[in-house]
């Protein structure tokens, strides 16, 4: 909707004195107002009916946007093509108004219809009111984002959408100010940086730290962001006075209000039930953000929540009678109706007709959504029952099968799980019978499982031709007398080539800019490429990650730097809840190929030596995890990832920056394949599996193992996600029949993950002649100092003795015990 659609011409004294063209213009404005009222009523009816559908058992859970209709209608008026939303699960009216959700689609999502045509936002993967638009074509290539209205994929964690909002807004600043991005191929992402990032959040969720990080960072960075706070006075049952200083987020943030001489935010307040004031407020906010690139916060006050937080409880339990009476009086839809009648913009009969039609329209669309959802399942059920009927006719135990069939038809709402469970139970009943129909049912299960894989498991990673898993390996090449340099120089020069090659690449983090990162892997690059592409940030890991997500959603290739691996915990929630699930929860509709760069392993001190790899790999499935053992390997991984379209975490080995490595000739071009381990040295007696800096420690042990007569094969897995895609490790185990997994995570962490992959998934169990072992760090964080490191993490002595222990058990005569039973490493 164009910016000219406002209510500024409607005064409190009526509009009957307009002439000619003014009367025509006024007629259009009245038409627009009545359409807004219709949408408000439709949205309210969705909330009412959606709650009923949930409470009657048709849906699992319901959460709705009733009470927030008018602010969202006002916001929608100034939301242009190219703009992006990072909102939360109350925004149904807004999405209706911009034409990015229909009533039928809303109910399809409520029912969890696993079909992207029925629910284009998530294909049934997200609970209702979690919205997303499609940024990608079916082949994974970018659409023209400037010709459509965009919404990033919603998440449920409170305030989780805030950090992403910062990056979405920053992208406009980057596109407006970076000359290298004026190329024609970037026109589909921005028009001179004129796009606004629109955020929404409930007032109680502003208590979360990521909200404050985002607001502070936006004020510092001066990015085009309009952030709306829907303030209905409660966080579920907890009132505002326990949530926010001064019981007002706008007052609490007042120190960030911009002045004539100092940057900051523009802070606006407005009543959530005052339609004309809301329209004016959003017009003002949009003008400031779009033109001046200044962040604006709108505190929408006195918003109501007519049905409470969700279908999980009733707000009558915690709201007083006076409060409930006030909410009924100041319901924004009721207030808009009252205003329309007062201004004589429509007769009551006309509003009654709008309301009646809205109610019947929503009911029709809900019915259609339900029929579409259930008809697919009933079709599958009919096919399954037909096969079971054949089995009943053939079986020696027909009564048991009849009971299964009856159970399949018992649930009030038949779901796929009921059908599949019945079929599987039927097969168990006839497991010892030879029936012609038995194979038919097995085939049905196989086919249905494949369909359900597409419905429920696809798109965790990229499935396009641009997947980094499709990038071909290119070995680094070296001159005959290649110069040996500090590892950081290899990395720095590789980044230099990447910045030259890819104008969409930018890096940012603590000390990344002027200093060139704490280990000088970016030395001199800010001076060469400017402060936009190589930037310093504040100490705020959550929003550093958020910048990366938002920038990547808008076609840029950000490298978000988290200074040390230990600090990843500050942004881990965003990595786990948002980035790792983004491609999956949008059912392949959006991608955010962020590279998170950090460094870790083998440093000293409790908070600088962590290696929580088990936590990381189990918490961020959907993100590739690269664990290079040196910086040439790290450089090759960056080269691979930037040719692909998946997000990744690269953990550079912290003790490698000053170690010497040969300088490759093809810097910026060589690639490391993901999920393909490297055999560091071949052997015949035992396989040692490790990664990162610990792999180098294992390599240091090899000469001593040789002296002891042990031929060890050392394998560097290189990436934990994905892990050994081509089962290279099992080929080694077939040869050696013994295996040791070594890492510096806690017991049961990444070493246990690697063991499960090799012994279970790769069937390595069948090739073992000795007990497989894991050698890990101790259960606590490493104590400080070199002695603390020695006694806390695996060292060369530990590794030698672990290998020797395995060989001693296999051949005690050739490898006599080093210790008696009372002593051990």
Which residues are tagged catalytic? 608
Q: Do 492 and 484 touch, CB atoms closer than 8 A?
A: no
Residues 634 and 653: their CA atoms lie apart, in Å, by 9
Catalogue the E-assigned strands of 761-819.
773-775
Closest CA to 767 of 776, 758, 775: 758
Nearest to 113, CA basis, from 99, 103, 128, 98: 128
Q: What residue ranges in 131-214 does DSSP mark as E strands?
A: 150-151, 197-202
* Bond into 722 cis (ω within 30): yes
- CA 403 – CA 780 distance, rounded (Å): 54
What is the rounded CA–CA span in Å between residue 538 and residue 536?
Answer: 7
Task: Enumerate residues 6+ apart whose C-beta is below 8 A from 739.
Answer: 686, 687, 688, 689, 733, 758, 764, 768, 772, 773
Using a 10 angstrom Cβ sphere, with 0-12 exposed, 13-18 middle and 19 or more buried, the burial of residue 760 is exposed
Distance from C-alpha of 209 to C-alpha of 510, rounded to nearest angstrom: 19
Which residues contact residue 751 at a Cβ distance below 8 angstroms, ignoring those fewer than 6 apart?
A: 741, 742, 743, 745, 774, 775, 776
Token pair, residue 562, equals: 């988290």
Instruction: Of 38, 31, 29, give the one whose Cα is nearest residue 337.
Output: 38
Q: Please, which residues have CB within 8 angstroms of residue 650's CB and are 6 or more apart in sequence?
A: 595, 596, 597, 598, 626, 628, 634, 637, 638, 641
238-239 vs 266-271, strand pairing mode: unpaired
In degrees and rounded to multiples of 5, residue 303 shows phi and psi of -85, 150
Q: Alpha-carbon distance 596 to 560, whole Å? A: 5
CA 462, distance to chain mean position in Å, is 13
CA 386 to chain centre: 42
Distance CA 281, CA 283 (A): 5
Is 219:265 a contact under the CB 8 Å cutoff?
Answer: yes
Asked if 673 and 486 count as a contact pair (C-beta separation under 8 A), the reply is no
What is the three-class DSSP state of 317?
helix
Cα distances (Å, whole numbers) of residue 568 to 212, 558, 612:
19, 17, 10
The whole-angstrom separation of Cα 198 and Cα 143 is 20
Instruction: List, in sequence order, every residue forming a beta bridge with 505; answer none if it has no partner.
Output: 557
Closest CA to 641 of 622, 624, 658, 618: 624
3-class secondary structure, 376? helix
Q: How far apart are the first and last CA of the chain?
A: 72
CB 654 within 8 A of CB 683: no
């Amino acid at each position: 909707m164009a910016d000219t659609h406002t209510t500024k011409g409607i005064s409190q004294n009526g509009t009957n004195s307009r002439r000619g063209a003014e009367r025509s213009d006024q007629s259009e404005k009245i038409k627009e107002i009545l359409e807004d009222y219709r949408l408000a009523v439709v949205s309210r009816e969705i909330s009412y009916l959606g709650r009923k559908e949930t409470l009657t058992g048709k849906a699992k859970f319901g959460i709705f946007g009733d009470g927030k209709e008018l602010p969202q209608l006002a916001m929608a008026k100034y939301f242009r093509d190219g703009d992006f939303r990072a909102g939360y699960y109350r925004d149904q009216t807004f999405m209706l108004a911009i034409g990015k959700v229909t009533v039928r689609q809303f109910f399809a999502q409520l029912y969890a219809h696993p079909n992207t045509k029925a629910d284009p936002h998530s294909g049934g993967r997200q609970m209702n009111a979690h919205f997303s638009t499609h940024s990608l074509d079916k082949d994974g290539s970018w659409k023209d984002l400037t010709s459509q209205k965009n919404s990033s994929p919603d998440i449920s964690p409170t305030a989780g959408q805030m950090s992403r909002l910062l990056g979405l807004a920053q992208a406009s600043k980057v596109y407006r100010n970076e000359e290298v991005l004026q190329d024609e191929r970037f026109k589909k992402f921005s028009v001179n940086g004129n796009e606004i990032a629109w955020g929404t959040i409930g007032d109680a969720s502003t208590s979360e730290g990521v909200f404050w990080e985002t607001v502070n960072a936006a004020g510092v960075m001066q990015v085009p962001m309009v952030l709306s706070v829907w303030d209905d006075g409660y966080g579920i049952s907890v009132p505002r006075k326990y949530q926010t200083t001064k019981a007002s987020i706008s007052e609490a943030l007042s120190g960030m209000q911009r002045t004539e001489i100092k940057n900051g935010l523009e802070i606006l307040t407005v009543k959530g039930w005052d339609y004309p004031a809301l329209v004016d407020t959003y017009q003002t906010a949009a003008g400031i953000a779009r033109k001046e690139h200044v962040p604006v916060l709108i505190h929408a006050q006195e918003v109501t929540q007519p049905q409470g937080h969700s279908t999980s409880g009733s707000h009558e339990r915690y709201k007083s009678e006076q409060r409930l009476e006030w909410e009924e009086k100041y319901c924004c839809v009721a207030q808009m109706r009252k205003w329309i009648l007062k201004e004589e913009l429509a007769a009551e009969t006309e509003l009654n007709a709008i309301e009646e039609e809205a109610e019947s329209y929503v009911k029709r669309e809900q019915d259609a959504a339900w029929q579409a959802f259930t008809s697919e399942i009933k079709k599958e059920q009919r096919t399954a029952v037909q096969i079971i009927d054949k089995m009943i006719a053939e079986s020696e135990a027909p009564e048991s099968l009849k009971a299964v069939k009856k159970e399949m038809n018992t649930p009030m709402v038949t779901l796929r799980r009921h059908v599949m469970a019945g079929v599987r139970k039927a097969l168990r009943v006839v497991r010892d019978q030879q029936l012609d129909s038995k194979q038919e049912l097995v085939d049905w299960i196989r086919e249905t499982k494949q369909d359900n894989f597409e419905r429920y498991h696809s798109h965790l990673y990229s499935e396009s031709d641009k997947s980094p898993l499709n990038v071909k390996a290119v070995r680094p090449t070296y001159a005959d007398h290649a110069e040996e340099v500090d590892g950081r120089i290899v990395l720095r020069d590789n980044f230099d080539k990447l910045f030259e090659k890819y104008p969409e690449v930018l890096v940012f983090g603590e000390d990344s800019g002027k200093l060139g990162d704490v280990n000088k892997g970016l030395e001199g690059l800010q001076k060469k490429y400017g402060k936009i592409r190589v930037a310093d940030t504040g100490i705020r890991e959550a929003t550093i990650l958020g910048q990366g997500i938002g920038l990547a959603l808008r076609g840029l290739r950000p490298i978000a730097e988290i200074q040390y691996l230990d600090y990843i915990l500050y942004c881990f929630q965003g990595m786990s809840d948002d980035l790792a699930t983004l491609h999956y929860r949008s059912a392949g509709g959006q991608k955010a190929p962020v590279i998170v760069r950090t460094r870790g392993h083998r440093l000293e001190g409790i908070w600088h030596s962590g290696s929580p790899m088990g936590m990381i790999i189990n918490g961020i499935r959907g993100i590739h995890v690269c664990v290079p053992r040196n910086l040439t390997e790290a450089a090759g991984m960056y080269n691979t990832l930037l040719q692909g379209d998946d997000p990744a975490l690269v953990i550079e080995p912290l003790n490698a920056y000053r170690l010497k490595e040969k300088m490759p000739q093809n810097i910026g071009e060589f690639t490391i394949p993901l999920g393909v381990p490297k055999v560091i040295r071949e052997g015949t007696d035992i396989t040692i599996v490790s990664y990162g800096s610990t792999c180098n420690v294992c390599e240091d042990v090899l000469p001593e193992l040789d002296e002891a007569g042990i031929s060890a094969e050392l394998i560097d897995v290189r990436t934990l996600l994905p892990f050994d895609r081509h089962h290279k490790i099992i080929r080694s185990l077939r040869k050696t029949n013994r295996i040791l997994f070594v890492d510096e995570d806690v017991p049961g962490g990444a070493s246990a993950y690697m063991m499960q992959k090799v012994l279970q998934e790769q069937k390595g169990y069948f090739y073992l002649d000795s007990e497989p072992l894991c050698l890990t760090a101790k259960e606590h964080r490493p104590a400080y100092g070199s002695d603390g490191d020695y006694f806390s993490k695996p060292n060369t002595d530990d590794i030698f003795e672990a290998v020797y222990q395995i060989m001693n058990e296999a051949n005690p005569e050739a490898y006599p015990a080093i210790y008696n039973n009372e002593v051990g490493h």
